Every structure is written in C-alpha cells, then in structure tokens.
Amino acid sequence: MFQTRLFHRSSSTRTHLYINTSPENTRYVNMLLQLDQIPQSHNIFAFLSTYILLAGYLVFPGTFTTIRNSSAVQGVAGKSHSGKTVFRAVQHVSLLVIAAVCCFVGVVGICWLWWTHRDNFIWLKQKIFLPALSNSVTGLVTTLINIYTARNGSWSVTAVVITTITSFFAVATLSFFSYYYWLLDGVQKEHEEHAAKPSK
C-alpha cells in the first residue's frame, strides 16, 4: 500500500500525517495541501485585520476617561446640573471615531478573507477565528476593567454601547470558531474513515 507523507505546519509544531494515495483525496487532505497554496500576503493580511480589530477594542476604553481627567472641565461642569449631565455624557469623540474605524476595517478584512477561503476550515480556524476570538475577549475584558477602575463602576451610555459591541463580537467570534471547529472535526473523522478502508 503506497503512502504519502504530508507535513501540517503550525506555529510551534510540525505534524506528520500519513495518508493513502488515491485518485481522489479527502477534503481534509485537500485543505492541508491548500495551506501551502494560500498567498503569504493573505496570511499577513489576516494578522493585520485581527490586530486592527484589537486596536479598536483597546482604543474604545480610552473614550471613558480623556475628558474626565481634565480638572478644568470638572470644575466648570460641577457648577450646574446641566453641566454635570453633559460631563457624564460627553466622551472623547476623536478617539471614538478612531476606534470605530479600526473595528470597521478589521471586520471588513476578516469578512473578505473568510469569503475568499471559506472552503478551508483549517486556515479559517487558525488564522481568522481563533485570533479574532482571543482579541475580542481581550477587548471585552479591557472594557470592563476600565469601567470598574477608571470610572468606578459608573455605566454611561457610551460605556453600555461599547460593552455591547465588544460582547457581540466576542459571542460572534466564539460562535464562528465553535462552528468551524465542529466542521473540521467532521472532516477529520471522514478522512480517518477513508484512510482506514483497505486499499483495493
């Protein structure tokens, strides 16, 4: 029985896979073979997209404290009820715009890569959804830490909106990661069943 050795490269290990040669490879084998055919520029773009998204998450909490740290603004705002109301509501608009742009660019890049490589579950799980999930959870935790430290647990409208956005991304990326993990598990089992069949 003839066998072919494939090398499945990851960031830290190299896995040796032995498969039966046949006129038609299994979907899992095709995905492994396609990993070497994906342009390096797409790998770099995936890295940049997920970390631009993370940058947006990390900038968002900065909108909670920029104006509040100004003693001059605090003094003026404290003289009237309307001033206090504005002081609680107004946030640093420029940082908010930067964060929103980063998140938008990151999501657009991720969506384009997902559509381009939608048939390669291995690449999507490793290069897109796992980093995006990690960064989304980091962004959510950072937001909550800022609310309960810099703002002493005060939930403004902006804080609620930003927490909702980061929570949505965390849940969405977790759902996609779990879905593709399940799909990949099915493809691997299909490959194992195919490899276990006696060759004719």
pLDDT (tens digit per residue) in 100-119: 899 999 999 999 999 999 99
Question: Average of pLDDT values for 129-141?
Answer: 93
Its pTM stands at: 0.71
**Positive or negative: CA dihedral 73, 75, 79, 85:** positive
Q: Which residues, 6 or more positions from 60, have their beta carbon under 8 angstroms from its beta carbon?
A: 95, 96, 99, 139, 143, 162, 165, 166
Q: Where are the domains of the chain?
A: 40-196
Up-side HSE of residue 53: CA atoms within 13 Å toward CB? 28
